[in-house]
Structure 1
């Protein structure tokens, strides 16, 4: 369903915005967003490689 996809993308973008602010550690961020450590780093690496199109 389309609404779920946009919600996931919104969550990724919020996570990445929080990561860029550097107010929390990556460990605290993935716990706060309820994602695994590997997912967090996968999102970060994609964003670093592809920019906003990456997530």
Structure 2
């Protein structure tokens, strides 16, 4: 059996769309998507604050390095 290929952004969008449609408790929806409730709240908050762009992955690269030469 092949592994299911998923795109993180698409899965986050599906999560938000399912929440907006209603009919789910957050606990059940998070269980369905196999994420924690903390992560579910984070996705919803990012969507409310930044829209679709809030669901995209952010760079983990530091913005500043303390030992950078100028």
Structure-1-length-normalised TM-score: 0.85
Structure 1, unaligned runs of 5 or more = none
- Offset, 1:43: 0.2
Aligned CA-pair RMSD: 1.4
The structure having more radius of gyration, on CA atoms, is 2
Aligned to 1:25: 25
Aligned to 2:34: 34
Q: Which structure's residues are more often helix, by fraction?
A: 1
Runs of 4+ in 1 over 2 A off after TM superposition: none
